[in-house]
């Protein structure tokens, strides 16, 4: 392999490693702060609920849910997962989604609606990705249940 | 089957299908020059098109690569069945300026997703693929010492997208190992002094926004004809305005082709997805 290519690959891979270590070493609180703490997260969840309500594809999954219960639970969960001073005490992810039979496409649609809500709340692309990275591991507890 | 007939079939069937959009924007990648879903020169583990496990997707593309003494024109199409199987077809036309001839090759591809999801699985997504190549203009290949005018490449590809991995930007990598005896991708036939062997191909990309990716690729190739056949490299930028269309531009360094060095130039590709 040519030296230049090798160098570029090395750059990208080392950048990716340092990127990982920053996420781990940085105070877990930083994502919580980037999301605008409790107020910012509440606004984001409200925006997200509006997007869900407008969406024909995924709204049926939420039709029977209590909006206030979902809102409270998701704000609490986002606060916890972004390193804020909360401990998620809501229902277990598997229990919530059992019987809903959410497929891959609908899951991705919800991700897109969350991204749309984050854009509306002026959350930067990089912060969006960091939040998605925290939420992505939950997918196996959500789909095909 | 000619590509035109294939394309007209695709367009006839299209209106009866729903538009597949079950994947996140940009995650299927683009179309590589042999017709498989991938980067520009490397087939990736992702399948072409936005179909998720309950959907079918169709896509078509045309690409052009111009380097100092050669140019490649390729058009093709892919079908994605339930994010499990990708079928592809591509027609290549390769203009050899010094000889004023055009070499033509058809490539039929199939790719099978073995494991995983680019974004969500703990391990990378793995796919096994093949590209069956039929060189229609074999005279030059045989004159240079190639043994066959047909050949089949088999590859194993692994890819993963790491969300927010580089200062918050998404990072995607793909590693492919290809068992091949193709000379210049098959345009100069198959085999020669050496038998088939395994060659690595690598890609790495960063998504600068949800619409734009930049990256680099490297592809090692055999030198069966003793013409100093070299590796290929490129640097690309791809734009995904929506899930129906994407545009890619790249700077190519193809080094030595058919014994003629310094083959650098540019690549442009347009894909449409349904």
CATH number at residue A72: 1.10.490.10
> In this structure, what DSSP letter does residue B15 have?
G
Closest partner CB to B204 (pick from A9, A20, A104): A9
Nearest residue of A to residue B118 by CA position?
A136
pLDDT at residue number B52 = 96
pLDDT at residue number A89 = 92
A129 to chain B: which residues are within 8 Å by CB?
163-164, 168-170
pLDDT at residue number A64 = 85
Tally of structural domains, chain A = 1
Residue A6 lies in a domain: no
A112 to chain B: which residues are within 8 Å by CB?
24-25
Tally of structural domains, chain B = 1
Closest partner CB to B166 (pick from A8, A16, A140): A16
The mean per-residue pLDDT over the stretch A22-35 comes to 67
**Contact between A105 and B209 using a beta-carbon 8 Å cutoff:** no
Is pLDDT above 70 for A3?
no
Percent of chain A with pLDDT over 90: 74
pLDDT-based confidence at residue A26 (cuts at 50, 70, 90)? very low
A115 in contact with B, Cβ within 8 Å: yes
pLDDT at residue number B116 = 97
**Contact between B206 and A132 using a beta-carbon 8 Å cutoff:** no
Percent of chain A with pLDDT over 70: 80
Distance from CA of A107 to the nearest CA of B (A): 8
**Contact between B204 and A12 using a beta-carbon 8 Å cutoff:** yes
Is pLDDT above 70 for A76?
yes
pLDDT at residue number B13 = 59
In terms of Cβ atoms closer than 10 Å to its own Cβ (0-12, 13-18, 19+), residue A87 is exposed
A67 in contact with B, Cβ within 8 Å: no
pLDDT-based confidence at residue A5 (cuts at 50, 70, 90)? low
Instruction: Summarize pLDDT for B98-124 with one digit per residue, the tens.
Output: 999 999 999 999 999 999 999 999 999
B212 in contact with A, Cβ within 8 Å: no
Distance from CA of A16 to the nearest CA of B (A): 5
> Are the C-beta atoms of residues A55 and A109 closer than 8 Å to each other?
yes
The mean per-residue pLDDT over the stretch A27-33 comes to 76
Distance from CA of A119 to the nearest CA of B (A): 11
pLDDT-based confidence at residue A18 (cuts at 50, 70, 90)? very low
A105 to chain B: which residues are within 8 Å by CB?
21-23, 52-55
Interface confidence, given as ipTM, is: 0.90
- How far apart (Å, rounded) are the C-alpha atoms in residues B59 and B269? 13
A11 in contact with B, Cβ within 8 Å: no
**Contact between A129 and B171 using a beta-carbon 8 Å cutoff:** no
pLDDT at residue number B19 = 80
DSSP string covering B134-202, please?
Answer: EES--HHHHHTT--BSEEEEEEEEEEEEEEEEETTEEEEEEEEEEEE-BSGGGTT-B-SSS--EEEEEE
Is pLDDT above 90 for A19?
no
- Number of A:B CB contacts under 8 A? 91
Residue A21 lies in a domain: no
> Are the C-beta atoms of residues A134 and A82 closer than 8 Å to each other?
yes
A53 in contact with B, Cβ within 8 Å: no
SS (H, E, C) B189-237: CECCCCCCEEEEEEEEEEECCCCEEEEEEEECCCCCCCCCCCCEEEEEE
Helix (H) or strand (E) holding B36, with range, is: none
pLDDT at residue number A20 = 43
Instruction: Summarize pLDDT for B214-259 with one digit per residue, the tens.
Output: 999 999 999 999 999 999 999 999 999 999 999 999 999 999 999 9
**Contact between A19 and B171 using a beta-carbon 8 Å cutoff:** yes
A10 in contact with B, Cβ within 8 Å: no
> Are the C-beta atoms of residues B178 and B128 closer than 8 Å to each other?
no
Is pLDDT above 70 for A7?
no
B168 to chain A: which residues are within 8 Å by CB?
19, 124-127, 129-130
Q: What is the CATH number of the domain that holds B44?
A: 2.40.160.40
The mean per-residue pLDDT over the stretch A131-139 comes to 97
B120 in contact with A, Cβ within 8 Å: yes
- How far apart (Å, rounded) are the C-alpha atoms in residues B210 and B195? 43
Distance from CA of B252 to the nearest CA of A (A): 12
SS3 state at A61: helix
Tens of pLDDT, residue by residue, chain B (274 residues): 566 666 665 565 555 556 899 999 999 999 999 999 999 999 999 999 999 999 999 999 999 999 999 999 999 999 999 999 999 999 999 999 999 999 999 999 999 999 999 999 999 999 999 999 999 999 999 999 999 999 999 999 999 999 999 999 999 999 999 999 999 999 999 999 999 999 999 999 999 999 999 999 999 999 999 999 999 999 999 999 999 999 999 999 999 999 999 999 999 999 999 8
- How far apart (Å, rounded) are the C-alpha atoms in residues A2 and B11? 43
Distance from CA of A131 to the nearest CA of B (A): 8
- How far apart (Å, rounded) are the C-alpha atoms in residues A88 and A95? 15
Helix%, strand%, coil% for chain A, nearest 5: 75, 0, 25
Is pLDDT above 60 for A22?
no
Range of the domain at A125: 27-142
Range of the domain at B117: 3-273
């Amino acid at each position: 392999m040519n030296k230049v290519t090798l160098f570029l690959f090395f750059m990208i891979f080392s950048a990716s490693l340092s990127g990982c270590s920053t996420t781990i070493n940085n105070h877990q609180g930083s994502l919580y702060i980037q999301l605008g703490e409790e107020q910012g997260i509440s606004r984001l969840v409200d925006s997200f609920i509006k997007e869900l309500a407008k969406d024909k594809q995924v709204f049926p999954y939420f039709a029977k849910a209590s909006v206030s219960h979902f809102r409270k639970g998701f704000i609490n969960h986002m606060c916890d997962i972004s390193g804020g001073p909360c401990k998620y005490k809501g229902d277990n992810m598997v229990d919530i989604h059992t019987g809903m039979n959410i497929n891959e496409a609908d899951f991705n649609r919800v991700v897109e609606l969350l991204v749309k809500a984050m854009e509306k709340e002026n959350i930067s692309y990089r912060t969006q990705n960091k939040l998605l990275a925290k939420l992505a591991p939950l997918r196996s507890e959500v789909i095909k249940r | 089957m000619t590509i035109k007939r294939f394309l007209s079939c695709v367009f006839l069937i299209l209106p009866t299908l729903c538009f597949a959009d079950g994947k996140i924007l940009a995650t299927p990648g683009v179309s590589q020059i042999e017709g498989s879903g991938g980067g520009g020169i490397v087939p990736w583990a992702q399948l072409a098109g936005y179909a998720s496990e309950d959907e079918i997707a169709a896509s078509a593309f045309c690409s052009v690569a111009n380097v100092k003494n050669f140019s490649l024109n390729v058009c093709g199409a892919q079908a994605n069945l339930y994010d499990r199987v990708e079928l592809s077809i591509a027609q290549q036309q390769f203009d050899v300026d010094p000889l004023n001839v055009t070499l033509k090759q058809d490539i039929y591809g199939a790719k099978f997703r073995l494991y995983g999801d680019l974004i969500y699985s703990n391990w990378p997504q793995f796919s096994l693929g093949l590209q069956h190549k039929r060189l229609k203009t074999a005279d030059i290949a045989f004159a240079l010492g190639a043994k066959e005018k047909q050949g089949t490449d088999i590859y194993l590809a692994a890819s993963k997208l790491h969300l927010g991995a580089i200062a918050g930007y998404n990072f995607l990598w793909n590693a492919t190992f290809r068992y091949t005896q193709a000379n210049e991708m098959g345009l100069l036939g198959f085999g020669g002094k050496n038998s088939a062997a395994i060659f690595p191909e690598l890609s790495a990309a960063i998504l600068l926004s949800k619409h734009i990716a930049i990256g680099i690729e490297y592809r090692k190739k055999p030198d069966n004809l003793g013409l100093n056949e070299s590796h290929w490299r490129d640097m690309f930028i791809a734009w995904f305005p929506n899930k129906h269309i994407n545009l890619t531009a790249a700077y190519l360094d193809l080094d030595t082709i058919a014994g003629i060095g310094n083959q650098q130039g540019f690549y442009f590709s347009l894909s449409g997805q349904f």
